Every structure is written in C-alpha cells, then in structure tokens.
A and B are shown apart, each in its own frame.
Chain A
Amino acid sequence: MKPMFAIFGGALAIYIVIVLLIAVGPAIDLSRTPAGPGVEPLTQLQSEGREVFAGNGCGYCHTQQVRPIPEDQVFGRPSAPGDFTWQTPELLGSERTGPDLTNIGNTKPSDVWQYIHLYDPRAVVPESIMPNFKFLFRVVDKAPPGETAVPVPAKFAPAHGVVVPTQKARALVAYLLSLKQTPIPEYSMNGGMGGMTSAPPSPPAPAASAPASSAATGGYSYDATKGQALFTANCSACHQTTGEGVPGAFPPLKGNAAVDDPDPALHIHTVLHGAHGVTIGGVKYTSAMPPFAGQLSDTDIADIINYERSSWGNHSKHVTPADVAAVRTSGK
C-alpha cells in the first residue's frame, strides 16, 4: 500500500496544487476583468448570432485576438483585457486560415457585403476557400414583405427566385457587424503594452503621420505598385480587382463619374469619409462604404486614388497628398 500512496497520491496532490496556481487561480482573477471603455454587452440578436458563429465552428479558421506585433496591425489595435469581458465562450481562436475578425464590423461594415459573402464567398472574394453558408438563406420567388433580398451577382445567384437571409443569418451578420474595437487612447502598437514584445518598434500609426506627410508634398511621386497593393488590401473586397464592383451591390469604379471627374474633391471625400445610399450610374446602392480617414495616410489615399484613376481604362488627373490633406482639413 505504501508505494501506491506515495506515487499516485503524491502525483495527484502535486498536480492539483500546480493546476490551482497556474489555471484556476488566474482564471478566477481574470474572470473579474472589468469591461474596457465603451465595451458593451451584446444585444439579444447579436448573442444569437454569436451562437450561430460558434455552433458552426467559424472560430476554427478566424481568430479574434490582435497581437501587439507589427504583422497584426492590419487587424486593428492590440487586443486589451477589457475587450473580452462579455465574451463567453471565448473565441480567441488558434488558427488564421481566414483573417482575424476582431474589428470586422469597422473594416467591412456593409451588411450587404456580409450577406453576399456568407451566401457565396467567391462572389466577392474569388480566391476565398471559405465554405458557402447557403443553408443560412432561403430562396423564394419574391422577397416577403418586410424582408430584403440579397443582391447576389447573377453568376452566383440561383437560377430562379431571390435569396433572403434566415433569422440565423440576420443574427450572424448583426454579430459580425458588432465586432468593432473601441479606441483606447495611447494604446497603439507596442506602446500600450509597455514595450513587452521583442519585436522592433513599428512605424507610427498612419493617421498620426498624416500632417507630416502632407507637409512634404514636394517629394510625392505616384507609386503604382503601392497603389495596387493598397487597393487590394482596402478596396477590392467590394469594388473587385476588375474595378467593376458587384452589380446591384457595390458600384463600379471603372467609368465611374466621380473617378473620371478632373476635380477630385468628391473622389477624395468618398475615400476619406465613406458613403451611404448613393446613386451611381442610375443605380441606387444601399450598402455603406466605410471611412478610411482614420486608417490611411494622405499619401496612401493619394496612391489609391491615382491607382483608381489610371486603371481599367480610366484616364483621369492624378492627385497629390496635399489635395487629400486639403479635403481632410475641410472636414465632412
């Protein structure tokens, strides 16, 4: 009996002590983490959407944590402890087969885009390998009163009838659009984490550098490669790499009046401040375009605009960062 008690009892007792110290103790403490400034509990519909998200295993390909290292900058500011107060079960995830979704409500705020993307991801992202979630939609002859059909491009739409989201799809999209980081002043890359990473300091946040770059307009020359990369990263999800948009959902830039206008004011304004409910080429677009003023510098925006003004058959006057700065300072 004696060796049994020593080996098994000892091994069990030591393990329990370690587990209390490394897991249960910290977890008790962390469970009481107060919500960060502006971090709100989910609404009923959003919670329902979160269950759809978890139940269909979205979290296996999409993380919801932004690390304080430069490569994660594209997804937002580093996640803070107060971001997770209302997030049970946790969905931080372990794999990024697809992009992080921490801030997706800010970067893809269009519910129309989200619906089309869920119905058939390849309708808006041709290279996507995300499964389609057609089982969250119904195909009906005509959208019932009070419901709106999803403007799925013809190539991806069912042969007959229109696509309408089910309650689960509506909840899921409400949840996705609720994923918005709240700003934390002074909490930018590396700085807010007290320099805890070994990664080299990243460049300063673009928006902060905007005035500096606009001051140095004399040296600007349009960089077509950079313009294309920025367009691909920020614009092509809706306007597509062909510049043709998605018919009925997202307007084309090819032959777009604002893009072809020698006066760039409206073009710059739209990129800086977004747009909602506009009519372009006789088509009214219900989906919202997000503002980019907070994320991109004047030089970046000039590069994007010049890329748009010189692609897909567009030949229009180029702009400088100074032009962008002028519209930026004139405000909305």
Chain B
Amino acid sequence: MKRTTAFRIGLWATQMVAVLALLGPAPEAQAQFGDFLKKAADKAQKAQKALQPMTVEEEREVGREVSAKVVAFFHLYKDEALTRYVNMVGATVAAQAERQDITYHFAVLDSDDINAFSAPGGYIFITRGAVVLCEDEAELAGVLAHEVGHVAGKHVLKIVERDKTMRAGMEEAKDRMPGSAHLHKMSKGILIKLIDQGLAPSDEYDADQRGVRYSHAAGYPADGLARFLTKLDQATEQGGKSFWTRTHPPVKDRNTRIQQTITAQHWEDADRPKLADRFAAETKTLKAKKA
C-alpha cells in the first residue's frame, strides 16, 4: 500500500515536471535564453564569415579606406604629367603580374620621404622623394613592380583574412561604408602593420622576386629594384627618411637574393633599355624643385 502511494506521488511529481518542461521557463528567463541563442548564432555566423577569403569588392573597400587615410596624411602630388608617366610605367609592369582580377592604380605622394607602399585592391603609392632618388625608368619600374608584387601576392590581404578581429563585422553594409568605424579600425591596423611593424621578411623577399620578374617581363633590365635599393641604403645612412630600411629586411640580403635570381634565370641583359633620358625628361620639374 505504502509503495503504491509513493509510486503515485512520484508519478504525479514527474507529470508536473513534464508539464513544467512543456510550459518552459518563466518569460524573463525564456527571453534571456532566446537572446543568448541569437547572439551565439550571430557569433557563429561571423566566425564562419571570418574564415572565408575576402571578395575583390571587400578588398577594394578596405584599400579605398587605407588610401583615403594615406591621401589625407600626405596629400597627392599634383602634377598631371608626372602622374600620367608613373601610371604608364606602373601599367607596363602591372600587366605582367599573375593577378589580373583587379585594376592597379598609381599615384605620387607629396612627401620628401623615400617610400612606396601598396594597399589592398591595387592602390599603389610612391613618394616624390622615392621618384627623385631613381636615376632611370628601370629603377622606377622596379620599385612599382615590387609594390605590384605585394598586391599580387595578397600579402596584406592575407593578414586581414587571418585576423578574425579585423574581419568581424564586415558582413553588414553599414560597416562597409566609407568612414565607418569598422573600416577605420581595419585600415588603421593595416597602416600600423605596413609602416610601423613591417610585413614578414618572407613577404618582402617574395615581392622582390615578383618585382624582378615583372620588370624583366615588361622589357626593363631586371636589376632596377636592386640598384634603387643600394641608393636607398646610402640615402638613409645620410639621413634620408624611409620606413623601407627600418621595417624591411637588410638591403644586402635582398640584393643578394635578387642577384641570385637574375643569375639563375640568365636575365643579365645589358642591352635592355634603362630609359634614363626619358625618365629625366618626365621628372625634370620634380628634380628641379628638389635642387
């Protein structure tokens, strides 16, 4: 009898618990749980998105924001003829790059510093100081080809893609609007990486190799970049300002590797045009200003 009563009580309690489970928790707890589940799903979706490669359009949006900051800081050097000339040389070497799903854009920055850098999406900048340091078109082509190499090798893009915190939030349209908090944060991170910390030495060596390859394929002598680097090293020793020598691998190492490639590929073409005269004519105004 006792056992039957206890069994009935137990059965009744189980029924009550089942009813409770069916009814679910109290509304507040239910709302909290729903909120928690929604946020967890959102986070999972963002994590999934962060693992996917960036689209060309996303890359361009990031590059555009980085470029806007670069232009805001340095300002473009307003010389239509020089801009056209740099774009001609740039287009000639960029046509040799493996990556042709983007358009490469070139501009001269109004700065005495000896620098050149590229942003994702194909935005390539060279400073007045770097153009003045070049002695011929082959050297200019070498520098621009090195930057094209960074874009073609997706060196900066890979950093962004690897950094989940940089990627998080790109899926919403408002986060991709020019000047959005997200793009500001992402482009600032890229510029710190590019200019203050520097890319991985392996990426710099890779851009050098690509640069030599593109220059040679474009018809220039393959040693333009190496000759520029030697002069850059000397210029910075004499007080010239450049983050290339601060954040990049030593010039000696880079030139050794470049020379090894030239030798191995039999690219020591003495008869290839360096185009010193054309370069001098095109940069006459700039060099006169410097003098």
Are these two chains actual partners, yes or no?
A: no
